[in-house]
């Protein structure tokens, strides 16, 4: 019997699918390639009690992934919002934040930055001042302490499918457990099923929210490669660059040392941040290198 469902967890080549009738099936893809992500809508066929195969993928409204020259890692499908968790300590990376923003912007997703661990006052002023430049770009920042109260965040998740991302150590799992009390228990159950013990947090999982919408918790990460973004997509994923698109003297301007570069001019006048322009050039070099390596140049 064929039925539709939502892929709610991805671990290795196995996927957990919640059918629209509410049944949970542990599925494998019919073909050899597993190109599915948490959040995907799929057509499945049950093959036994609690088991099935994935026959078909329903077209995605968005797909977030990270990539380097050799590998693309699907993070989440059909998300509508990226919730990026940073903390007062350990210190977070501005560059990582910019990378996440690029990934989200390239898929036209809403972004919410959560500054966690505000109960640790030592790093608070520094974190705020480093987030100020993102606030200036129009990205909302919500301050909270996941140990204390997450209600302010809860109300921002209603009706959205939110992907929770963050570097390791930012308190993302504390946040997930505060939002979804059964998350901790579910993680344990799955680890028993798979008999993997300590590898329990290395897969993404979609949790339905009681208020409507869902939350996709992704594994903590240290890098966020953007090799899948071509130069044009990368440039427009820096939202403050968009008004200057097509304004450079040369149509093929690399925004590097060319005369009459609109972005350089904007940076010199302080209209955009020099640091963000440097990050763009760095990400672009990395993407171009990655694509060259992938093609074996
Ligand atoms: Zn230029």
Q: What does each C-alpha distance from 103 to 74, 128, 148, 281 come to in angstroms? A: 12, 23, 30, 16
Question: Could you tell me which residue, 254 or 70, shows the higher pLDDT?
Answer: 254
CA 104 / ligand 1 centre spacing (Å)? 23
Among 84, 65, 83, smallest CA distance to 74 is for 65
- Pairing, β 14-19 against β 214-217: unpaired
What was the pLDDT predicted at 61? 97
Assigned token pair, 276 = 């963000």
- pLDDT in the model for residue 201: 45
Q: How many CB atoms lie within 10 A of CB 125?
A: 10
pLDDT digits (tens, 9 = 90+) for 93-146: 999 999 999 999 999 999 999 999 999 999 999 999 999 999 999 999 999 999
Positive or negative, the Cα torsion across 47, 53, 56, 60?
positive
226 CA → ligand 1 middle, Å: 21
How close is the Cα of 264 to the center of ligand 1, in Å? 7
At residue 221, the pLDDT reads 78
Name which of 171-180, 184-193, 262-271 the model is least confident about.
Answer: 184-193
Query: Is residue 199 pLDDT above 50, yes or no?
Result: no
Give the residue among 199, 214, 163, 164 at the shortest CA–CA distance from 6. 214
pLDDT at residue 189 in the model: 53
Whether 191 shows a pLDDT value over 60: the answer reads no
pLDDT band at 200 (very low <50, low <70, confident <90, very high): very low
| Residue 203 CB coordination number (10 Å) | 21
pLDDT reading at 181 higher than 90: no
What six digits make up the tokens of 111?
């972004």
Rounded to the nearest whole angstrom, what is the distance from the C-alpha of residue 258 to the centroid of ligand 1? 7
Distance 137 CA to ligand 1 centre (A): 20
The CA distance from 260 to 253, in Å, is 9
Question: 267: CA distance to ligand 1 center in Å?
Answer: 11
Collect residues with CB below 5 Å from ion ligand 1: 248, 253, 255, 261, 263
Average pLDDT of the chain? 90
Report the pLDDT averaged over residues 209-221: 88
Please check the confidence at residue 261 and state whether its pLDDT lies above 80.
yes
**Mean pLDDT of the region 160-166:** 95
Q: At what angle do helices 94-106 and 124-136 cross, to 10 degrees?
A: 30
Q: Residues 134, 101: contact at Cβ < 8 Å?
A: yes
Ligand 1 centre distance from Cα of residue 247 (Å): 8
Which tokens belong to 222?
A: 């240290």
Percent of the chain clearing pLDDT 90 (strictly above)? 73
Residue-wise pLDDT tens digits, 16-55: 999 999 999 999 999 877 689 999 999 999 999 999 999 9
Identify the pLDDT of residue 107: 96
Residue 297 has pLDDT above 80, yes or no: no
CA of 242 to the centre of ligand 1 (A): 12
Taking residue 153's Cβ as centre, other Cβ atoms within 10 Å add up to 22
Q: Indicate the range of 107-111, 173-177, 196-200 predicted with least confidence.
A: 196-200
Separation of CA 263 and ligand 1 centre (Å): 5
pLDDT of residue 250: 96
Q: How many other C-beta atoms can be found within 10 angstroms of the C-beta atom of residue 83?
A: 26
């Amino acid at each position: 019997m064929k039925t539709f469902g939502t892929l709610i967890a991805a671990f290795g080549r196995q996927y957990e699918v919640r059918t629209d009738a509410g049944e949970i099936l542990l599925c494998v893809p019919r073909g050899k390639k597993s190109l599915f992500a948490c959040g995907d809508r799929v057509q499945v066929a049950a093959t036994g009690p609690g088991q099935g195969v994935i026959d078909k993928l329903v077209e995605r409204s968005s797909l977030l992934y990270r990539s380097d020259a050799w590998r693309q890692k699907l993070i989440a499908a059909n998300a509508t919002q990226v919730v990026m968790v940073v903390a007062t300590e350990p210190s977070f990376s501005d560059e990582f934040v910019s990378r996440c923003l690029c990934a989200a912007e390239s898929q036209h997703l809403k972004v919410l930055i959560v500054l966690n661990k505000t109960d640790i006052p030592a790093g608070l002023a520094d974190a705020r001042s480093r987030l100020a430049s993102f606030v200036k770009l129009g990205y909302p920042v919500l301050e909270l302490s996941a140990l204390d109260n997450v209600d302010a965040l809860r109300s921002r998740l209603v009706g959205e499918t939110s992907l929770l991302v963050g570097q390791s150590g930012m308190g993302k799992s504390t946040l997930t457990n505060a939002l979804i009390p059964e998350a901790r228990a579910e993680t344990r159950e799955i680890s028993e099923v798979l008999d993997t013990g300590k590898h329990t947090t290395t897969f993404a999982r979609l949790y339905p929210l009681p208020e409507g919408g869902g939350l996709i918790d992704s594994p903590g990460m240290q890098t966020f490669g953007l090799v899948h973004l071509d130069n044009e997509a990368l440039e427009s994923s820096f939202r403050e660059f968009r008004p200057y698109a097509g304004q450079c003297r040369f149509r093929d301007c690399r925004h590097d040392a060319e005369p009459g570069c609109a972005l350089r001019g904007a940076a010199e006048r302080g209209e955009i941040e020099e640091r963000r322009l440097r990050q763009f050039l760095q990400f672009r070099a990395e993407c171009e290198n990655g694509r060259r390596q992938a093609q074996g140049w």
